[in-house]
């Protein structure tokens, strides 16, 4: 019932194919189809351990729906070293973020919605998915080819596009656990039991979560224009599971438990075998998820604790200017924020330029 | 009449300010104000030599209008080495292209056009520029700060936004000379005497040329909606002057001559002292400026000559698979294009991944 | 009594000079001359904070001998970013370790020792230092120039070579505090109060500590051959103060206290105002300071605690092969060492190739 | 008679094995055993095309001795991109040059030479090779493992150590063809027909040519100490075949022809089917092979032609300081050399730091 295979996602100058491992679990019944992917950013390894723990859970409690899981989804990014670290966030040739290259062309929406305005939901679902597939194949057959990042993205997206639920497992740099939630899925997002949440609009900007849900959300909007209420038929989330370059297989079990809790509320296990201890869930809108940039170059002591409320004006970090040691100039300055916040993540290095993104914080928070 | 100064555009972790040299020439009379910048991409050095040659010309033939020139506009990009080469196309921390971070927020257009619908052109020009400045200062005063790339871009753009003509001097990787031309300025673009030309729409996407002309073009569109015809008051071009990592001071004199030829048609020297030998000027629309991506990984012999017509199906490059040497597998394949074209540039390395952008070519060409 | 200046150590392509800050404290009397440097490896920032704390101590307790301190000693390495991290261990152009480019040519030893065989120690000291300076100036005046790394190293070494005590402040990747001790200085090394110590032979291999003491140790050996016992007149140590990319100004006070404790035993403060709580000091010979390399590629959970004894065969780390998830192949393996050890440091990333240096450990340890 | 296989030389974090292609040709008779390798530095691709042309020749003229050829010998270096270029000269984690990690421990020489002092040459050859193998296996079985670069080097060296002739195919940055010649093999080196030659001493410093011939040369020296004259039984050369990042399959045929010319003089084809047009061969000692380093930071026009004599004081390059444009400061300076020379190679980028190796030149040249 568990099958493993590989999918080719690219090819190196030496001719070595770049392949990703694919684990397929056949569902026991009629549950949602689920696609879960990890490590598209090369330094963000924790999701692989979460997939390992999920596989253990799926073995113990066979799921109703089909599951496809892809750990180590970006061989090029994972294997790209620069010094001791994994330079895995963007294509080293072009600088393009590996998670901004998924595809959707919205021009298909209007003709589709006119054709299927009165169709059954199930018919719409199948026909729209088929239309997405066609758009894909057309793009892949261009005589001009695709970029390296597009090859990777399209091979992954071809699997993701078949699913009703898409989970993309990331981490921050030095980071607390947090979740990107499309606004329409806000209620369901609680079940992940992730303490910090960012509500995002449902537009398409090239990331896997958006590429997965946005076509269906836009379809729903299109039908609404024509007066028909159509549910958004796909859920997709980006989970940020702690810090990059860190593998913690025990913590991964808790991460996996939250995911199973969400999945069982989506009908994956009718008898709901999983149980999470509820925690406080904070959230803010994407426009209130703020990045604070260093006002000067220097070396930083990060002081604000992650996932702990920080009052306006309280110490966020100390910026040191050791080049002024022994002189009259300002040696250090305390950095603060203009409003109350909850710090989510901070930069991974002590040496920063003017403009380095030092912290990202929730502001104007509310309970999810 | 020639003044030199520096402008601070950032700050390093050691506290070292990043500064760019600024050369200001005061105009003799009433010519256009001109801003010229080079080397925003760190490996693209030829523009610095062009500014040197322009300065020689300006000394010989003092211009009517004010000129501001910034060579070596990106200290961080120029000084960033990775192996022997200059890793200067994108921010090494974030991957963001250094030439996609300029700013314009179009929400100011509608209120502005309503207020100034019946004003004189000169009044509109001054008032709109003042509005752009205000937008800038507001952005710079955010308590959340700006990114490293935004600091750089805004400090340069503050100078560029005062000009009537903005020229951004770039190069390709291995490249023939070519020019990006906003469609509305097509007639004037001929005077640069650059053989290959790409006509671009007038939208804003973060590059300096767009950031310079697009607000004025959008303003013109906005007035047109209200029934008033307003000229686009700013010209801006990106010039691609050959190959990166290459300094050729003699060739730079010819490059500078083309620029002066354009400027004298814009009123910079009423007596028109400059003379270019006319050459054939080819052009295509941006949608016909095609990138061909490698269909596989391998090592490449680039064969199609730059700036020479290439018929459909003729050899573009040979892709070698040396990992199959001695076996039965395909050792090499000839790559071709599906239509006639004029190759403009090719990739700088012999080792390519599947998807590497091998060549960029004009298709559906016409005479400019 | 405290003077600050800068020394130029290089020049960037943009023409920007690379300068290091220099802090000079004039001694009150007849104590040793001390040179202290930090951050020659760009990511190793903690030493800067230690210099800050030392300066506080020196202000409070003016030292007998002259002190020269250079924080942020490598502007190029500190400012070199690759992704979020500081690619500061080696020259990005050539790969050469920044701390392997100091200079000493031993051919001067034999003629010198013949000339000064019967001289006073003080005369020998001054004359030998003068000979070292001459060797330096000769090298700097070569018409063929020096490499970028040699410019940096020689400018720093010119200051260091005037001192009786040279301290080079480093850190490991993820690391416990440890100290490199030249064998002849073993007794004195205790006063630094650093828990883990590596005894190194006194050869020259290009690092600052060796470049500082080895000429004097070789001089002593040379005199011994001629039957005269000459003390090694210079002490030099490399201190590894925790982990890279981490600034902890409170911990830096403890680091500075250990340094002052050593200095007061060398006569810096006759009234010995500093007091360290003694801790257990472990040591091993350099040949017993072992690196353990990953037996395969994979992703790692580091398990052995730093600065804690680890018995042979006990878990060092778990190596995960997530590409085999769901298949029959080995998913993970526990890595162990063949002998008892004390782990000193581990690699900074979770993703490792076959051969990555996972841990460095003391073996065959003894009390210092 | 031609067999192809692969040899595993490492393993990536994703678990992907790094493998090199190996082509084995069985000799027709009693000729020398030959090992040829290309592209150990990732950007140096031309040798792959030379191996392709050699294979064509070997098919046409079957050789007497066995031949083993390894194109694309360094998968990690070839596939490592940084911007458009291949960052293939050193390990991106440690900075270690990929061609400085081969192994030889000379402590085996003395016991070996005592044991075999009176043996036949053929017996010595086989026994010494067996001793080298044993040293290798011992090293590979260390419980502490090997570095990534050592895994690569040892897997290649295991093949090379079986050969009588070892050729390592490299290129320079921007470079004329040149050859490193061990002094004892000077006479034979002429047959390669390579215009510029550097005579190197026969010490071991970690490169493949040295690792291949130096043990045998040291053996010969050791026997000489005991009064027996023993020939150096292995020839090894590093060929530098033009510029990096450049594939020229036609030029590779000429390169291959020179190699075959050398091989036929070593007995590979008794009927000597290959013919080279003789050219002038210049040479100098390694100590006269000089690197000229930039006296300042700036941007460079390379002017001296490669493989053309350059008189002392004649223009080598122009160094431009565009940061001083418009001011009184020195804008450019002409760089010259203090003696007559033949330029061999120059740096690949126009942007240089103070100390960048601008040119390498032969001085005190003589005819080979």
Q: Under an 8 A CB cutoff, do B247 and D301 touch?
A: yes
**In the predicted structure, residue A56 carries a pLDDT above the cut 90:** yes
The one-character DSSP state at A15 is S
Contact C270, C184 (CB under 8 A): no
Burial class of residue D67, CB neighbours in 10 A (0-12, 13-18, 19+):
buried
> What's the average model confidence in pLDDT over B14-32?
96
Helices (H), chain A: 46-60, 75-79, 109-115, 121-140, 148-160, 186-189, 208-225, 249-265
Sign of the dihedral defined by the CA atoms of residues A193, A197, A199, A203, in that order: negative
Tokens coding C161? 């070579």
> β-pairing, D34-38 with D165-172?
parallel
Residues paired with residue A7 on neighbouring β-strands, in sequence order: A20
Of D234, D259, D279, the position where a domain reaches its end is D279
Distance from B159 to chain C by nearest Cα, in Å? 20
**What is residue A87's three-state secondary structure?**
coil
d(CA D302, CA C16): 22
pLDDT tens across C195-206, in order? Answer: 999 999 998 889
CATH number of domain containing C204: 3.40.630.10
Contacts 24+ apart (CB under 8 A), C80-83: C80/B80, C80/C42, C81/A349, C81/A351, C81/A353, C81/B92, C81/B93, C82/A82, C82/A83, C82/A85, C82/A87, C82/B82, C82/B92, C83/A43, C83/A82, C83/A85, C83/A87, C83/A88, C83/A89, C83/B92, C83/B93
Q: Does an H or E element contain C20, and which?
A: strand C17-25
> What's the average model confidence in pLDDT over C160-178?
98
Q: At what angle do helices D208-225 and D148-160 cross, to 10 degrees?
A: 60
**In the predicted structure, residue B193 carries a pLDDT above the cut 90:** yes
| Residue A215 and residue A333 in one domain | no
At residue D329, the pLDDT reads: 84
> β-pairing, B289-293 with B178-182?
unpaired
All chains having 3 or more CB pairs closer than 8 angstroms to chain D: A, B, C
Tokens coding D70? 């390894």
Going from the C-alpha of C213 to that of each of B236, C22, C154, C217, C241, the distances in angstroms are 61, 22, 16, 6, 21
| Residue A329 and residue A210 in one domain | no
Q: Under an 8 A CB cutoff, do D90 and C95 touch?
A: yes
Is residue B6 within 8 angstroms of chain A, CB to CB? Answer: no
d(CA D145, CA A336): 48
Provide, rounded to the nearest whole percent, the portion of chain D with pLDDT above 90: 97
Going from the C-alpha of B26 to that of each of B58, B157, D71, the distances in angstroms are 10, 19, 60
At residue C150, the pLDDT reads: 97
Q: How confident is the model at residue C58 (pLDDT cuts 50, 70, 90)?
A: very high
**In the predicted structure, residue B328 carries a pLDDT above the cut 90:** no
Q: How confident is the model at residue B204 (pLDDT cuts 50, 70, 90)?
A: confident
At residue C328, the pLDDT reads: 81
**What is residue D105's three-state secondary structure?**
coil
> What's the average model confidence in pLDDT over A7-31?
97
At residue C87, the pLDDT reads: 97
Is residue B189 within 8 angstroms of chain D, CB to CB? Answer: no
Helices (H), A168-314: 186-189, 208-225, 249-265
| Residue B216 and residue B296 in one domain | no
At residue A204, the pLDDT reads: 86
- Write the residue in C49, C318, C350 that is nearest to A246 by C-beta: C350
- Write the residue in A12, A72, A93 that is nearest to D83 by C-beta: A93
Is residue C322 within 8 angstroms of chain A, CB to CB? Answer: yes
Q: Under an 8 A CB cutoff, do A86 and C351 touch?
A: yes
| Residue B153 and residue B16 in one domain | yes
Q: How many CA atoms lie within 13 A of D275 on its CB side?
A: 2
Residues 6+ apart with CB under 8 A from A101: A147, A149, A150, A152, A153, A206
| Residue C95 and residue C222 in one domain | yes
How many contacts, defined by CB atoms under 8 Å, are there between C and D? 128
Interface of C with A in 134-163 (CB under 8 A): none
What is the count of structural domains for chain A? 2
Is residue C7 within 8 angstroms of chain D, CB to CB? Answer: no
Burial class of residue C251, CB neighbours in 10 A (0-12, 13-18, 19+):
middle
The one-character DSSP state at B61 is S
> What's the average model confidence in pLDDT over B231-257?
98
Q: Under an 8 A CB cutoff, do B297 and A90 touch?
A: no
Which residue of chain B has the CA closest to D83? Answer: B87
> What's the average model confidence in pLDDT over A3-8?
97
Of B247, B279, B311, the position where a domain reaches its end is B279
Task: Quickly tell me which residue has 């695709």 as its tokens.
Answer: A146
Contacts of B13 in chain C (CB under 8 A): 78-79, 86
Interface of B with A in 274-293 (CB under 8 A): 290-293
**In the predicted structure, residue B263 carries a pLDDT above the cut 90:** yes
Distance from B58 to chain D by nearest Cα, in Å? 11
Q: Under an 8 A CB cutoff, do C95 and D91 touch?
A: yes
| Residue D129 and residue D83 in one domain | yes
Contacts of D12 in chain A (CB under 8 A): 75, 78-79
| Residue D273 and residue D315 in one domain | no
d(CA A352, CA A319): 9
Contacts of D80 in chain A (CB under 8 A): 80
Sign of the dihedral defined by the CA atoms of residues D194, D198, D201, D203, in that order: negative
- Write the residue in B16, B72, B92 that is nearest to C81 by C-beta: B92
| Residue B268 and residue B305 in one domain | no
Report the 10 Å Cβ neighbour count for B208. 27
pLDDT tens across D239-263, in order? Answer: 999 999 999 999 999 999 999 999 9
> What's the average model confidence in pLDDT over D314-337?
95
All chains having 3 or more CB pairs closer than 8 angstroms to chain B: A, C, D
| Residue C263 and residue C333 in one domain | no
Contact B77, B40 (CB under 8 A): yes
> β-pairing, D2-11 with C366-367?
unpaired
pLDDT tens across D3-20, in order? Answer: 999 999 999 999 999 999
Interface of B with D in 18-57 (CB under 8 A): 21, 23, 42-43, 45, 48-49, 51-52, 55
Contacts of C80 in chain B (CB under 8 A): 80
What value, to the nearest 5°, has the Cα angle with vertex A244 and ends A56 and A181?
A: 75
pLDDT tens across B269-296, in order? Answer: 999 999 988 899 999 999 999 999 999 9
Give one word for D193, left, alpha or beta, with left for phi > 0 and alpha for psi -120 to 50: left
pLDDT tens across D179-204, in order? Answer: 999 999 999 999 999 999 999 999 88
**In the predicted structure, residue A163 carries a pLDDT above the cut 90:** yes
CATH number of domain containing B333: 2.40.50.100
Residue D157 phi/psi, 5° resolution?
Answer: -65, -30
Task: Quickly tell me which residue has 């090894």 as its tokens.
Answer: D236
Which residue of chain B has the CA closest to C85? Answer: B93
Q: In which domain, by residue range, is C352 found?
A: 286-367
Tokens coding C313? 């065969």
Going from the C-alpha of A59 to that of each of A28, A37, A54, A165, the distances in angstroms are 12, 18, 8, 19
| Residue D147 and residue D265 in one domain | yes
Quick check: is A284 in a domain?
Answer: no
Helices (H), C141-207: 148-160, 186-189
Q: How confident is the model at residue A329 (pLDDT cuts 50, 70, 90)?
A: confident
Contacts of B84 in chain C (CB under 8 A): 93
Burial class of residue C276, CB neighbours in 10 A (0-12, 13-18, 19+):
middle
Contact C196, C178 (CB under 8 A): yes
d(CA D174, CA B348): 13
pLDDT tens across A258-274, in order? Answer: 999 999 999 999 999 99
Going from the C-alpha of B306 to that of each of A86, A123, A322, B175, B353, the distances in angstroms are 37, 52, 51, 7, 22
| Residue C168 and residue C266 in one domain | yes
Q: How confident is the model at residue A155 (pLDDT cuts 50, 70, 90)?
A: very high
At residue C204, the pLDDT reads: 87
Residues 6+ apart with CB under 8 A from A307: A176, A177, A195, A196, A342, A343, A344
At residue D75, the pLDDT reads: 98
**In the predicted structure, residue B262 carries a pLDDT above the cut 90:** yes
At residue A295, the pLDDT reads: 97
At residue D330, the pLDDT reads: 87
**What is residue C289's three-state secondary structure?**
strand
pLDDT tens across B217-228, in order? Answer: 999 999 999 999
Is residue B81 within 8 angstroms of chain C, CB to CB? Answer: yes
pLDDT tens across D160-184, in order? Answer: 999 999 999 999 999 999 999 999 9
What value, to the nearest 5°, has the Cα angle with vertex B110 and ends B109 and B114?
A: 115
pLDDT tens across D68-96, in order? Answer: 999 999 999 999 999 999 999 999 999 99
d(CA C319, CA C336): 11
d(CA D366, CA D181): 14
pLDDT, averaged across chain D? 97
Torsion over CA of D328, D329, D330 and D331, rounded to 10 degrees?
A: -80
At residue C329, the pLDDT reads: 84
Provide, rounded to the nearest whole percent, the portion of chain C with pLDDT above 70: 100
Contacts of B19 in chain C (CB under 8 A): 16
pLDDT, averaged across chain C? 97
Q: Could you tell me which of C185, C213, C212, C211 has the C-alpha nearest to residue C197?
A: C185
Tokens coding B62? 């003092």
**In the predicted structure, residue D328 carries a pLDDT above the cut 90:** no
**In the predicted structure, residue C347 carries a pLDDT above the cut 90:** yes
Q: Could you tell me which of B146, B208, B148 has the C-alpha nearest to residue B182?
A: B208
- Write the residue in D86, D323, D324 that is nearest to B349 by C-beta: D86
**In the predicted structure, residue C48 carries a pLDDT above the cut 90:** yes
pLDDT tens across D24-48, in order? Answer: 999 999 999 999 999 999 999 999 9
d(CA C74, CA C88): 9
Q: Under an 8 A CB cutoff, do A82 and C82 touch?
A: yes
Q: Under an 8 A CB cutoff, do C93 and B83 touch?
A: yes
Q: B317 versus B329: which is more confidently predicted? A: B317
Q: Could you tell me which of C6, A21, C210 has the C-alpha nearest to residue D15?
A: A21
ipTM of this complex prediction, to 2 decimal places: 0.96
What value, to the nearest 5°, has the Cα angle with vertex D8 and ends D2 and D11?
A: 155
**In the predicted structure, residue A328 carries a pLDDT above the cut 90:** no
Torsion over CA of B272, B276, B279 and B284, rounded to 10 degrees?
A: -60
Of D279, D302, D318, the position where a domain reaches its end is D279
Residues paired with residue B135 on neighbouring β-strands, in sequence order: none
- Write the residue in B14, B19, B81 that is nearest to C75 by C-beta: B14
pLDDT tens across A285-295, in order? Answer: 999 999 999 99
**In the predicted structure, residue B127 carries a pLDDT above the cut 90:** yes
| Residue C46 and residue C105 in one domain | yes
């Amino acid at each position: 019932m568990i099958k493993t295979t590989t999918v080719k996602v690219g090819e190196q100058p030496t001719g070595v194919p770049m392949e990703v491992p694919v684990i397929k679990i056949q569902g026991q019944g009629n549950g949602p189809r689920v696609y879960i992917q990890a490590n598209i950013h090369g330094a963000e390894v924790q999701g692989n351990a979460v997939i390992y723990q999920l596989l253990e859970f799926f073995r113990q409690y066979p799921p109703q729906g089909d599951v496809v899981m892809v750990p180590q989804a970006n061989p090029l990014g994972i294997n790209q070293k620069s010094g001791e670290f994994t330079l895995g966030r963007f294509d080293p040739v072009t600088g393009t973020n590996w998670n901004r290259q998924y595809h959707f062309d919205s021009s298909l929406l209007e003709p589709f919605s006119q054709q299927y305005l009165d169709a059954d939901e199930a018919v719409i679902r199948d026909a729209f998915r088929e239309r997405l597939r066609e758009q894909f194949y057309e793009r892949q057959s261009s005589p001009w080819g695709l970029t390296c990042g597009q090859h990777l993205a399209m091979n992954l997206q071809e699997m993701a596009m078949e699913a009703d639920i898409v989970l993309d497992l990331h981490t921050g740099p030095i980071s607390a656990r947090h979740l990107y939630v499309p606004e329409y899925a806000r209620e369901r997002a609680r079940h992940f039991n992730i303490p910090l949440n960012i509500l995002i609009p449902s537009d398409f900007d090239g990331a896997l979560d958006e590429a997965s849900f946005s076509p269906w959300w836009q379809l729903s909007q299109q039908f609404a224009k024509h007066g028909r209420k159509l549910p958004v038929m796909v859920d997709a989330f980006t989970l940020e599971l702690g810090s990059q370059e860190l593998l913690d297989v025990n913590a991964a079990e808790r991460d996996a438990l939250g995911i199973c809790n969400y999945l069982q509320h989506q009908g994956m296990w009718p008898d709901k075998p999983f149980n999470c201890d509820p925690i406080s869930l904070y959230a803010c809108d994407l426009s209130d998820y703020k990045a604070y940039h260093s006002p000067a170059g220097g070396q930083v002591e990060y002081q604000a604790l992650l996932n702990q409320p920080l009052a306006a004006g309280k110490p966020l970090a100390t910026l040191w200017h050791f080049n002024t040691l022994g002189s009259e100039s300002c040696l250090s300055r305390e950095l603060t924020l203009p409003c109350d916040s909850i710090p989510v993540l901070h930069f991974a290095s002590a040496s920063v330029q003017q403009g380095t993104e030092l912290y990202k914080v929730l502001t104007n928070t509310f309970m999810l």
